[in-house]
Amino acid sequence: MAPASYELTEVWALVERAQAGEAEAFGLIYDRYVDTVFRFIHFRVGNRQLAEDLTADTFLRALRRIGTVTWQGRDLGAWLVTIARNLVADHFKSGRYRVEVTTADVLDADRVDREPESSPEAAVLDHLTNVALLGAVRRLSPEQQECIVLRFLQGFSVAETARAMDRNEGAVKALQYRAVRALARLLPEGVRP
Amino acid sequence: MIIWLFHRRRAERLARLLDEPAGDTHDEELAGYVRLTGYLARGTSALADPGADFRTSLRALLMATAEREDIRGRPFGGGR
Lowest-confidence range among A37-46, A57-66, A120-129?
A120-129
Query: pLDDT over 90 for what percent of chain B?
Result: 38
- What is the model's pLDDT at position A124? 56
- What is the model's pLDDT at position B71? 75
* pTM of this prediction exceeds 0.90: no
B15 and A173 in contact by Cβ < 8 A?
yes
Q: Please say whether the beta carbons of B48 and A39 come within 8 A.
A: yes
B chain contacts of residue A176, beta-carbon cutoff 8 Å:
11, 14-15, 18
How does pLDDT run across A169-186, given as a tens digit for each residue?
A: 999 999 999 999 999 999
The pLDDT confidence band at residue A114, using thresholds 50, 70 and 90, is: very low
Q: Please say whether the beta carbons of A140 and A178 come within 8 A.
A: no
The Cα A42–Cα A87 span in angstroms is: 12
The pLDDT confidence band at residue B79, using thresholds 50, 70 and 90, is: very low
Q: Please say whether the beta carbons of A88 and A45 come within 8 A.
A: yes
Closest CB to B72 among A19, A86, A154: A19
Would an 8 Å CB–CB cutoff place A168 in contact with chain B? no
Q: Nearest CA of chain B to the CA of A32: how many Å?
A: 12
Q: Please say whether the beta carbons of A145 and A44 come within 8 A.
A: yes
The pLDDT confidence band at residue B75, using thresholds 50, 70 and 90, is: very low
Q: Nearest CA of chain B to the CA of A4: how many Å?
A: 14
For A63, A167, B14, the CA distances from A181, given in Å and listed in that order, are: 38, 20, 11
Residues 115-134 of A with CB under 8 A from B: 115, 126-127, 129-131, 133-134
Would an 8 Å CB–CB cutoff place B46 in contact with chain A? yes
